[in-house]
Amino acid sequence: MSNPNTEHTKNRKRSREERKKMMVRILALLMAILMVAGAAYYTIYMLSTAVSAADVQQTEIVDTSSLTNSGDVPVRVGLMYGENITVGFEVTSECGFTVGITDDGTDCRFTPLWELPYTRISAVVDGNLSKNHMTYAVTYDASQTVVGGFHVQVDCERYDRNQFTGLYQQAEKTMAEYGLDVTPAWVYTGYTMRIGDFASREQAQKWVETVRSIFPGETVYVTGASETSVSILQPESDEILFEYDCGGETELGLQAREDKNGNTYLKTPAANVYDGIFVFSRSRNDTTEGVALTNIISLEAYIAGVLPYEISNTWPVETLKSFAITVRSFTLTHRGRHEADGFDLCGNVHCQVYKGAGRVNSNVWEAVTGTAGQVMTYDGEIVNAYYSSSVGGTTVSAKDAWGGDIPYLQARETPWENYMEHANAFWIVEMTPTELGGRLQKAGYELNSSIADVRIGALASGSTYIKVLQITDSTGKVIQINGTDAVRAALAPTIKSANFVVGKGSVEYTETTAVYLPEQEKPAENTTSSAAVPDDPGTQPDKDFGYISLYGYHVQTAEREYVSDIDFSVTLITGSGEQLYDREDIFVLSGESASAFTGESSVQNKKEPEAPVTETLDKSTETTVYKVAHAENPNNFIFVGKGWGHGVGMSQYGAYDLAVMGYTAKEILDAYFDGILLVHYRTTEQYAEK
């Protein structure tokens, strides 16, 4: 018989151990709850921060449906071409898609063929495809094939759309019993059905007799991938939804079905939103066989898609109006610039930065609709309306930049431009002789890798831009660079314009305060429009200047390297395609520094690169400060420059400054373009109604 006291002690011990274990469990549970709560709080905080940043940028899309058919001149914009093509490109739309034919005529006609109720599709090359992390690739390994490029084809050219739809629906039910999918297709002149997706012709051939027995009287045979065929896939299931092949004579067009507001928005993996038609065509470069992407868009919708990406959508409306007229003029004089590539203009800085409707706000809307159709003309012809980010106190003539005298593109002083306060409009750069030599070699100049001397041979007429630059290398070889834009291009991207001074070890330069122009010094008017300049320029609206410029940032991913060509976003190349990220969405950490691109300002660690040492000279005046910049190493070259870009025509930041001072859009344009008139483009000979 056991001792009751001993038994009681054992029971008591067990109770204490159990209570201890229970406390541990409770503490663990509390810790888990706190961790979940913390993660939830962080998620909510990040989401709220993102929303706040978006509010600052005013990125909410306004209803732009009325712009879809405004302006009867279509613009073909190349979004993916040349080295940027991919095997597949994903697109989403809120209400599905319409597939159709697009021709290459002047009206870019779109003919609907088929409706797709899916909200997410991928346009890919027709062929055997493998897949890795939602990214398709051409494969020659049958074991890796997830989408086959061989099909049993049933010709249906004699059927109209209604008849074909009935036949297709019947075929779907019948072939499902055999475990085969049926794909609608358009081949050259008519509809066709493609049954199955096989990795080899031999596999497809085994089904030909079965399909013939089901469709007696129809032409049935095996077809394979061609160099001009494009497929539409459902990326989750890899099901082929539609195929198109017209030998390149016409191309596959994709239009979003209308949403509740009548908009037909197409969204890309980079989160850009486009209206109009996406055109997919087969293309090839040195390394990739893929699909090229062109956006066909109406003129005014295109203008709205350029404004907030070339300048800020928070700038004064008069600036935006003047720029809308400038962009419209440039567009209509440069249509066909990329005709060899199959479109009119590209979507990057080579032509104009265009990324769709994603940043169209009420300011942009007012600027575009308030100037609808307006262009600048000179002697009855639409002008070549060149522009750059900033000019640094003076423009340069087209003749000195590129050659050929253009009367409305002459050098002009721009004392109103507050270039000392604008992003990348004033800069000091130090370069070693070897760095400078390497930069020039990369630009194609045959020089020794070390530079001994740099001299300014001549300035442009009426401008501080350098027209002739003489370079001597360490062997004594001398070259001469002629033309202001050739000078800029030879030293870009480190040197941002040809409006600079240069010295070895040190160089004298000036900083000029922006001059407020009195009424009598306003640009000459060609129309009766005018506006009084207020006594006080007033408070400037929210600007886009506080951010770190992302222009020229190199982003290296597992896929490939990308170099940013605009200053407010970067693109990451991922396994799912290109993803565009705005500054407010980026946080960068590295071993050397930490930078956060958030809200309206940049946050950096305290350790910053040392700026060149400068000193102020006694001859400074109230408006002009004379200074000397000293290089850290006296053997290095030091450049002090103003402006960003070629310097011909309009300064974007200068247009901003004039609007803040109270100038109208017409007055801003008169400040940069000589002798221009504003008219509707349909009144010009080039675009007159026939």
Write out pLDDT tens, residues 385-408: 999 999 999 999 999 999 999 999
Summarised one tens digit per residue, pLDDT across range 318-344 is: 999 999 999 999 999 999 999 999 999
Instruction: Work out the percent of the chain whose per-residue pLDDT is above 70.
Output: 76
The predicted pLDDT at position 274 comes to 96
pLDDT at 669 over 80: yes
> Which bin fits 601, alpha (ψ -120 to 50), beta or left (φ > 0)?
beta
**Please, which pLDDT band fits residue 65 given cuts at 50, 70 and 90?**
confident
The predicted pLDDT at position 11 comes to 40
The distance in angstroms from the start CA to the end CA of the chain is 118
Both structure tokens of 84: 């940027």
The predicted pLDDT at position 600 comes to 35
Helical (H) or strand (E) element with 616? strand 613-616
Mean pLDDT of 74-86: 93
**Please, which pLDDT band fits residue 8 given cuts at 50, 70 and 90?**
very low
CA dihedral defined by 125, 131, 135, 136, rounded to 10 degrees?
Answer: -10
Summarised one tens digit per residue, pLDDT across range 210-258 is: 999 999 989 999 999 999 999 999 999 999 999 999 998 999 999 999 9
**Angle at CA of residue 686, ends 682 and 690, nearest 5°:** 65
Beta strands (DSSP E) in 365-505 are 374-378, 381-382, 387-388, 426-431, 451-459, 466-473, 478-482, 500-504
For the chain, the helix, strand and coil percentages under 3-state DSSP, each to the nearest 5: 25, 30, 40
Both structure tokens of 117: 């109720």
The predicted pLDDT at position 515 comes to 79
The predicted pLDDT at position 403 comes to 94
Alpha carbons 566 and 349: distance in angstroms, whole number: 8
**Residues 310 and 353 sit within 8 Å (Cβ to Cβ):** yes
The predicted pLDDT at position 573 comes to 62
Alpha carbons 646 and 498: distance in angstroms, whole number: 7
Q: Are strands 677-680 and 624-630 parallel, antiparallel or unpaired?
A: unpaired
Summarised one tens digit per residue, pLDDT across range 101-154 is: 998 666 788 999 999 999 999 999 999 999 998 899 999 998 999 999 999 999
Summarised one tens digit per residue, pLDDT across range 502-561 is: 999 999 999 998 876 655 456 555 433 322 222 222 322 333 333 344 545 666 665 555
Q: What is the mean pLDDT of the chain?
A: 83
Nearest to 129 by CA among 114, 119, 116, 142: 142
Mean pLDDT of 622-644: 94
Summarised one tens digit per residue, pLDDT across range 641-662 is: 999 999 999 999 999 999 999 9
pLDDT at 682 over 90: yes
Mean pLDDT of 174-190: 96
**Residues 605 and 599 sit within 8 Å (Cβ to Cβ):** no
More confident residue, 42 or 377: 377
Both structure tokens of 262: 């009548």
pLDDT at 28 over 60: no
The predicted pLDDT at position 458 comes to 98
pLDDT at 604 over 50: no
Alpha carbons 451 and 597: distance in angstroms, whole number: 37
**Residues 600 and 547 sit within 8 Å (Cβ to Cβ):** yes
Alpha carbons 374 and 317: distance in angstroms, whole number: 16
pLDDT at 23 over 60: no
In three state form, how does the secondary structure of 235-303 look?
CCCCEEEEEEECCCCCEEEEEECCCCCCCCCEECCCCCEECCEEEEEEEECCCCEEEEEEEEEEHHHHH
The predicted pLDDT at position 59 comes to 44
The predicted pLDDT at position 39 comes to 46
More confident residue, 28 or 471: 471
Summarised one tens digit per residue, pLDDT across range 38-48 is: 444 434 333 33
Summarised one tens digit per residue, pLDDT across range 452-467 is: 999 999 999 999 999 9
Nearest to 57 by CA among 269, 360, 304, 302: 360
More confident residue, 653 or 27: 653
Summarised one tens digit per residue, pLDDT across range 88-102 is: 999 999 999 999 999
* 44 φ/ψ angles, rounded to the nearest 5 degrees: -65, -40
pLDDT at 581 over 80: no
**Please, which pLDDT band fits residue 50 given cuts at 50, 70 and 90?**
very low
The predicted pLDDT at position 586 comes to 58
Q: How far is CA 228 from the centre of its chain?
A: 27
**Please, which pLDDT band fits residue 49 given cuts at 50, 70 and 90?**
very low
The predicted pLDDT at position 10 comes to 39
**Please, which pLDDT band fits residue 621 given cuts at 50, 70 and 90?**
confident
Alpha carbons 111 and 95: distance in angstroms, whole number: 19
- Which has the minimum average pLDDT: 162-171, 614-623, 656-665, 676-685? 614-623
> Which bin fits 536, alpha (ψ -120 to 50), beta or left (φ > 0)?
beta
Q: Which residue has the tokens 């004033």?
A: 426
The predicted pLDDT at position 535 comes to 29
What residues form DSSP beta bridges with 591? none
**Please, which pLDDT band fits residue 686 given cuts at 50, 70 and 90?**
confident
**Residues 667 and 402 sit within 8 Å (Cβ to Cβ):** no
- Write out the DSSP string of 115-151: EE--SEEEEEESS-EEEETTEEEE---GGG-SB-SEE
Alpha carbons 392 and 426: distance in angstroms, whole number: 7
Using alpha carbons, list the distances in angstroms from residue 485 to 454, 495, 502. Answer: 17, 12, 17
Three-state SS at 201:
helix
Nearest to 527 by CA among 404, 665, 623, 424: 665
- Which has the minimum average pLDDT: 146-150, 185-189, 309-313, 585-589? 585-589
Summarised one tens digit per residue, pLDDT across range 340-375 is: 999 999 999 999 999 999 999 999 999 999 999 999
The predicted pLDDT at position 399 comes to 97
Alpha carbons 203 and 600: distance in angstroms, whole number: 60
What residues form DSSP beta bridges with 80? 293
The answer for residues whose C-beta is within 8 angstroms of residue 497's C-beta and 6 or more apart is 388, 391, 392, 465, 488, 641, 642, 643, 644, 645, 646, 647
Summarised one tens digit per residue, pLDDT across range 414-453 is: 999 999 999 899 999 999 999 999 999 999 999 998 999 9
In three state form, how does the secondary structure of 294-354 look?
EEEEEHHHHHHHHHHHHCCCCCCHHHHHHHHHHHHHHHHHHCCCCHHHCCCEECCCCCCCC
